[in-house]
Structure 1
Amino acid sequence: MGEGGRVYIADLAIGPVALRDDGSIEEYELFPRSVDEAVTEALRLEEEGFTLAHEKLGKKLVESGVGSLVVESEDTARHFSKLGLSVKVEPGNNVALSARERLVSLGVELGFFGSEDDALSWLYEVEVEYTRRKLRGAAQKRDMLAAQAIRAIDDIDKTVNLFVARLREWYSIHFPELNDLVREHEDYVKIVSAVGHRDNITVERLVDLGFSEEKARRIAEAAKQSIGADLSEIDIQAVQTLARITSELYQLRRRLTEYIEQVMNEVAPNITALVGPLLGARLISLAGGLDKLARMPASTIQVLGAEKALFRALRTGGKPPKHGIIFQYPDIHRSPKWQRGKIARALAAKLAIAAKVDAFTGRFIGDKLREELRRRIAEIKKIYAKPPKRKREEKPPQPRRARPPRRGRPPRRRRGGRR
């Protein structure tokens, strides 16, 4: 035993080890060999300063008569003190630093590793898993940021639709032909905000705005022959102000979309790999958070966003909806009606797995889930290529009702009856 009976506790990736002053091993208690369990113990040590392995090691030291310990953190010292040991805190002491430098050889000596190559491979896996979980923990509270951002995009879409409708009606007083020539709202807004008066519309300016030369020529000719009213400069400026604000909303929507992509790749990479960042953020928003989404069964995820239709079906006994917001998934809304429910069920099952992995482990299995989903969709399209035959519903015979008597006439008597 070391001078004065002191023992140093070195917290290593393989578990806590008690060392003498000369670096020789006094006692040890190793973590489980499983990478997941070892990382879990390491994270617990970082958060609480103590693990079950530390408690077992402390009891061994008490039984062997060790009375004085040197540890590196106050939390560890507090827990060892409860076992009746005298503890001193020396962060970064030489004995612990030396033990970490020779971690591989110590692990082989204690039988935790079979060889040096085995040690390096295991330590690499632990470091990757540890980093992934730390990143997951840091990003865990950011799921609602993505939810708020997608709600902001929905609000922007509503506002833009209102503004564009008003802008088209307003500018049509001056240049009504443009309404039919330019169907895309953003292109319409771009022309009004950049050009303004129809007399300023030229082929060159429209080409600079991104229009093809043929379309630019058609718009320019229509502007010269327009039957719209002439507007003053003040009137045009008012219309352009609305157009510029609408154009800024389009730009804001694009920036928020990029932001959601970044956040979703950090918070929910598996969900993003399956359905993309925007639809994934909508699912998190509807569920009320990633943790809540992870605790939902696949059947609930399948109808998220269609709660009104579901409750109406339960109340009236009608057919329940086959899908909710996941209808936006391309392979669902582009498929025939008789395939959509089956594809939605398959997608919801994979989303349930992806949400649980994103919420509780942080591992990335999105590629695997996406490939499995593609195979299942291909199988559905092959098996159910033709619509199912409709079953004839045989109506039960309805009882004949007696015809009501005509007004003003007595009921007719049966032949042979009493007069």
Structure 2
Amino acid sequence: MERYWFGDVEGGVCRPAETGPAALARRIETFGSELGRPDWRQAQACGAVRDRAEYIAVLQAGCMERAQARVAAELSGKDVELLQMVRTLDEIDHVANLLLERAVDWQAVLDPAFTRKYKRGGKALAGRIQRSPSPALRAVGGEIENLGELRNRLMREVSRRADAVLPNTSALVGGLVAARLMAEAGGLSPLARMPAATIQVLGARTAIFSHIRGNAPSPKHGVIFQHRRVHNAPKEVRGRVARVLAAKLAIAARIDYFRGELDTAFVEGAQTRIDAAGVSA
């Protein structure tokens, strides 16, 4: 039997299939690569279309229906919103830092006594800008402060959402770090399919490229350095802790993706193993 999007041909006889957009999309999804790619005249002979223009129009409608269904399915994933939240958080950080840098330069123009030393203290710097003689600069300072408050609220929401989407990964490294790992991977599905060695250096693009060019040693960690178990570990065992943590995270991500439930026994065992890596000789 030869299968085509418009019907099935067996023994020289064509049996037309339903060619409505939804039915056609389901047929394409079901048979996929098994469907042949015939000349439009075969569809015409089967009685599915009247001419080439209708052939193209019907096939296009079916393909568009299938594409819309695939997009809707991708956007309905439980990790999609969290991914956008993390990216928004990064954009807020970027915008706030740019505004703060510009405000510092602006304040230095208005106040010759103002120096870059205020960059070392966020509250002192913000207070100095808020007392600026320029109403416009004070308004900018207010927006920077508002962005900081928005960032804090969004961080709490990201952490809360990550606990639901990535329960095991969040239990190991905290909601915020877990969410950033997922964002660096591009989603929960890609993260669950990554080897531990890749998870270990997620977020260390600059260091990796420097290593490839031969100007630096290979990186030992990326985003996971933000977790206390890694950055608080003695330097001589930090690499080992990062490797063990990444190995457990690889398993946690798979549990999160395929089960979606917290595995308390796994988390407790993983935490014990990670802690032991930080104190072993």
TM-score, normalisation: structure 1: 0.44
Q: 1:248 to 1:290 in 2, by over 3 A?
A: same
Superposed CA RMSD: 2.9
**1:190 to 1:373, Cα distance in 2 relative to 1, 3 A:** farther
Percent identity over paired residues: 37
Counterpart secondary structure, 1:142: coil
In structure 1, runs of 5+ residues without a counterpart are: 1-136, 198-230, 385-419
Matches within 5 A, 1:176-325: 176=113, 180=117, 183-190=120-127, 192-193=129-130, 196=131, 231=133, 236-310=134-208, 313=211, 316=214, 319-325=217-223
AA of the residue aligned to 1:255? R
| 2:97 counterpart residue number | 161
Tell me by how many angstroms 1:358 deviates. 0.9
CA distance in 1, matches of 2:226, 2:118: 29
User: Which secondary structure does the structure 1 equivalent of 2:140 belong to?
Assistant: helix
For 1:298 and 1:253, the matched residues in 2 are separated by 30
Per-residue deviation, 1:284: 0.8
AA aligned to 1:272 is: S
1:260–1:177 Cα change, 3 Å = same
How many positions carry a matched residue from both structures?
207
Unaligned runs of 5+ in 2: 1-72
Corresponding letter in the other structure for 2:104:
R
1:142 corresponds in structure 2 to: 78
Deviation of 1:152 after TM superposition, in Å, equals 1.7
Q: Provide Cα deviations, 1:70-128, integer angstroms capped at 9, x if missing partner.
A: xxxxxxxxxxxxxxxxxxxxxxxxxxxxxxxxxxxxxxxxxxxxxxxxxxxxxxxxxxx
Could you tell me whether the CA contact under 8 Å between 1:190 and 1:247 is conserved in 2?
no
Equivalent position of 2:258 in the other structure: 360
Decide whether aligned partners of structure 1 residues 140 and 263 sit closer, same or farther in structure 2, where only a CA change above 3 A counts: farther
TM normalised by structure 2 equals: 0.64
2:269 alignment partner AA? E
Q: Which amino acid aligns with 2:125?
A: Y
Render the CA deviation track for 1:331-387: whole Å, top value 9, x for unaligned.
Answer: 21222322111101111111111111111112212x444433443344233322xxx
CA–CA distance in 1 between the matches of 2:105 and 2:211? 40
Q: Shift in Å at residue 262 of structure 1?
A: 2.5
Whole-Å separation in 1 of the counterparts to 2:76 and 2:222: 25
Measure the CA separation in 2 of the matches of 1:183 and 1:327: 23
- After superposition, what is the alpha-carbon deviation per residue over 1:234-256, rounded to whole angstroms, capped at 9, x for unaligned? xx201111101111111211121
Instruction: State the one-letter code of the partner of 1:188.
Output: L
Change (3 A) 1:348 1:280: same
In the TM superposition, what is the alpha-carbon distance from 1:175 to its structure 2 partner?
A: 7.6
Q: Is the 8 A contact 1:302 1:348 kept in 2?
A: yes
Bigger helix share: 2
Q: State how far apart, in whole Å, the 1-side matches of 2:244 and 2:80 are.
A: 26
- Per-residue deviation at 1:312? 5.2
- CA contact 1:164–1:185 (8 Å) conserved in 2: no
Contact 1:144–1:285 (8 Å) recurs in 2? no
Partner of 1:376: 273
- Whether the 8 Å CA contact 1:294–1:355 is kept in 2: the answer is yes
Is the 1:350–1:369 Cα contact (8 Å) retained in structure 2? Answer: no
**Amino acid in the other structure paired with 1:342:** R
Distance change (3 Å), C-alpha of 1:171 and 1:316: closer
For residue 176 of structure 1, report the CA deviation from its aligned partner.
3.3
Query: Is the 1:147–1:284 Cα contact (8 Å) retained in structure 2?
Result: yes
Task: Judge which range, 172-181 or 287-296, deviates more.
Answer: 172-181
8 Å Cα contact 1:306-1:321 kept in structure 2 = yes
- Hey, what does 2:16 align to over in structure 1? none
